[in-house]
Amino acid sequence: KQDLELVAVTKRYGNTVAVDAIQHRFKPGSYACLLGPSGCGKSSTLRMIAGHESVTDGSILLGGRDISGLAPAQRGTAMMFQNYALFPHLSVIENVAFSLKMKGVDAPQRRKKAGEMLELVDLTALSDRLPDQLSGGQQQRVALARALITRPEVLLLDEPLSALDPFLRVRMRSELKKLQKELGISFIHVTHGQDEALALADEIVVMNNAVIEQAGPAREVFNAP
Ligand code: ADP
Ligand code: ADP
């Protein structure tokens, strides 16, 4: 298991300093929540780790290797988006297998691996449906399977539960937690909800005004003066 380390990572958009020289080592194989108010720099941080946004300064190390210059698919990370971003004209299994197709994996192998991922998120029965024939929670599971099929060391989740109704949100919480334990990889989950962070996180990283204010186990972070 490889640990992810942020070394003086900075993001500027013009004159806005969105992330200001943050420093953190995420423990391998643990569930981390990046918690803080809107605009504090959480998404920018996640997007820099994923490679969807360049770092202005600093570096991002995975297992000691600087990944900050690599393309998203080369980093050992995968991102699950808030709006799921599924391809509407592709079936569930085709959505999940998409990245393997891009890599040139042959059809039988794609079908096998995508099938395993769908089993993992309990969607085998819906393999041949189109995304608009699924509920919000089911679409989210497809997005999860699609991110996990690349076998990332680190899964990045940007407000993954915010589009769900309260009932589903609580259920998906425990499913995410269970999945993370089963896979043993690191999850980094962005949220502005304290209760969500408390329910999920082995470690909470609190951001405010572009910096990390505090980091530690949930109990420690919430009991601090
Ligand atoms: P959060 O995820 O905590 O809401 P963001 O990382 O989205 O925070 O944003 C941090 C700051 O950077 C905010 O002031 C936001 O307006 C600004 N910002 C984010 N993305 C961009 C962008 N593409 N261009 C300009 N400013 C941005
Ligand atoms: P989140 O906080 O979940 O990232 P936002 O609505 O802040 O969602 O951002 C959505 C998109 O808009 C992102 O691509 C982000 O880079 C961009 N964005 C956010 N803030 C700004 C801003 N002040 N100026 C330009 N683009 C922005």
The β-bridge partners of 66 are: 61
Q: What is the DSSP string of 92-148?
A: HHHHHHHHHHHTT--HHHHHHHHHHHHHHTT-GGGTTS-GGGS-HHHHHHHHHHHHH
Q: Among candidates 22, 2, 4, 27, which has minimal Cα distance to 12?
A: 22
Helix (H/G/I), strand (E/B), else coil: 26: strand
Ligand 1 pocket, residue 15 CB under 6 Å = no
Is pLDDT above 60 for 41?
yes
User: Residue 61 forms beta bridges with which residues?
Assistant: 5, 66
**Residue 11 CB–ligand 1 contact under 6 Å:** no
* pLDDT tier, 161 (very low <50, low <70, confident <90, very high otherwise): confident
Given a contact cutoff of 8 angstroms between Cβ atoms, the answer to whether 155 and 188 are in contact is yes
Cα atoms in the Cβ-side hemisphere of radius 13 Å centred on 213: 16
Distance from the alpha carbon of residue 72 to the mean position of ligand 2, in angstroms: 19
Pocket test for ligand 1, best of 11, 12, 16, 159 (most atoms within 8 A of CB): 16
**Percent residues over pLDDT 70 in the chain:** 98
Asked whether the predicted pLDDT for residue 162 surpasses 90, the reply is no
- CA–CA separation, 191 and 194 (whole Å): 8
Q: What is the pLDDT of residue 168?
A: 83
d(Cα 156, Cα 160) in Å, to the nearest integer?
Answer: 9
Q: How far is the CA of 206 from the centre of ligand 1 (A)?
A: 16
Question: CB of 43 closer than 6 A to ligand 2?
Answer: yes
For residues 114-135, average pLDDT: 94
Q: What is the ipTM of this complex?
A: 0.75
> What does the pLDDT read at residue 166?
86
* Closest residue to atom 16 of ligand 2, CA basis: 44
pLDDT value of residue 225? 54
Measure 31 CA to ligand 2 centroid, in angstroms.
Answer: 25
The arithmetic mean of pLDDT across residues 48-57, rounded, is 97
Supply the residue whose CA is at minimum distance from atom 1 of ligand 1.
39
Ligand 2 close to Cβ of residue 44 (< 6 A)? no
CB 77 within 8 A of CB 148: no
C-beta separation of 155 from 147 below 8 A = yes
